[in-house]
Amino acid sequence: MTLLSLRNVTKRFSTPAGDVLAVDDVSLDVARGECVAIVGESGSGKSTIANMILGIYPPSEGEIAFDGATLPARRSLQHRRLVQLVQQNPLSSLNPRRSIAASLRLALDVHDIGARADRPALMASLLAEVGLPASHLARAPAGLSGGERQRVAIARAIACSSPLVVLDEPTSALDVLVQARVLRLLNDLRAKRGLTFVFITHDLAVVRNVADRVAVFEKGRLVELAATEALFAAPAHPYTRRLISAVPVLTQDESDLRDRFMESLNA
């Protein structure tokens, strides 16, 4: 059953230097409960796709539908509640001058979730779900590690029970071991809450471990879309082949870490 569908979506930006075609005629269906990875080099239009799904700006052409209904250019609060975001950099995605509680509470307040008096308990249970103690609520982001901050950002993204979560390189600012734990948390949450993920990354090892299907982007165009296993076994498009062979060679230390990380994912 299709949850999200992009139909012939195009995005043009006009800049002083001329028009930029950031996303070029992309059609993509994401099923409920699925995790679709979006991969591609920097500048290939991944974040632009994410921003259009989130309703930060509308497509120049084409449309985005959710559960069969086309989303308008101006999203209502109900529309906003359908899709949430986890960003790359947890340093900037949490306001340095507001407490963790204030950042989490915003989602509950805006969507009026739970009675006012119940919200502190609700926030504590959200933190518990991402593996953080309730005592973190009173802290400022500066007092948390990168991994902890990213967990808070994940708690915020699931706070209003959105069925769809867009993750824009959610682990690439974290070091390898922390990456593994955060990925595992994301996998668990997806299974437990039946979430649908649009998972943007340039890390193919991550793709292999989280994605059901992979969408490969090159210069704003969707050049290949295949099940993860199939894509790695037999990449069809030359660009995909180059992408897979361009995976950086790891040092011994890094590959040890990688192995442990794979194990911890399968554990």
Ligand X SMILES: Nc1ncnc2c1ncn2[C@@H]1O[C@H](COP(=O)(O)OP(=O)(O)O)[C@@H](O)[C@H]1O
Binding footprint of other proteins on the chain (CB under 8 A): 54-56, 75, 77, 80-81, 83-85, 87, 89, 92-98, 103, 106-107, 110-111, 153, 156, 160
CA dihedral 44, 47, 49, 51 (to 10 degrees): -160
Cβ proximity to other proteins: between 83 and 231 the closer is: 83
Is the separation of the CB atoms in 7 and 65 below 8 Å? yes
Enter the tokens of residue 229. 């296993």
- DSSP conformation letters of 82-120: TEEEE-S-HHHHS-TTS-HHHHHHHHHHHTT-S-GGGHH
Residue from 5, 26, 34, 44 touching ligand X (CB under 6 A): that is 44
DSSP 193: H
Looking at the Cβ atoms of 49 and 231, the one nearer to ligand X is 49
Q: Which does 44 bind (CB under 5 to 8 A by kind): other proteins, ligand X, Mg ion, none?
A: ligand X
Q: Closest CB to Mg ion among 89 and 187?
A: 89
Interacting partner of 107 out of ligand X, other proteins, Mg ion, none (Cβ under 5 to 8 A depending on kind): other proteins
Per-residue binding letters, 26-55, with Mg ion (x by CB under 5 A): ---------------------x--------
**Given the complex with other proteins, which of 94 and 198 has the nearer CB atom?**
94
Min CB(82)–other proteins separation in Å? 11
104-109 long-range contacts, Cβ below 8 Å, gap at least 24?
104/137, 104/152, 104/155, 104/156, 104/159, 106/156, 107/156, 107/159, 107/160, 108/159, 108/160
| Cβ–Cβ < 8 Å for 73, 235 | no
Asked whether 58 and 73 are in contact (CB, 8 A), the reply is yes
b vs e for 57-69, b when ≥16 Cβ sit within 10 Å of the residue's Cβ? Answer: ebbbebebebeee
Work out whether 82 is an interface residue with ligand X (CB under 6 A): no
CA 113 to chain CA centroid, Å, is 23
What's the min distance (Å) between Cβ of 32 and ligand X?
Answer: 25
Q: Counting contacts by CB under 6 A, is residue 85 touching ligand X? A: no
Q: Does 184 bind ligand X (CB under 6 A)?
A: no
Stretch that binds ligand X, among 41-49, 75-83, 146-154, 177-185 (CB under 6 A): 41-49
What are the structure tokens assigned to 163, written together?
């069925």
Which residues in this chain contact Mg ion in the complex, by CB under 5 A? 47
Which residues in this chain contact ligand X in the complex, by CB under 6 A? 13, 15, 20, 22, 40, 42-48
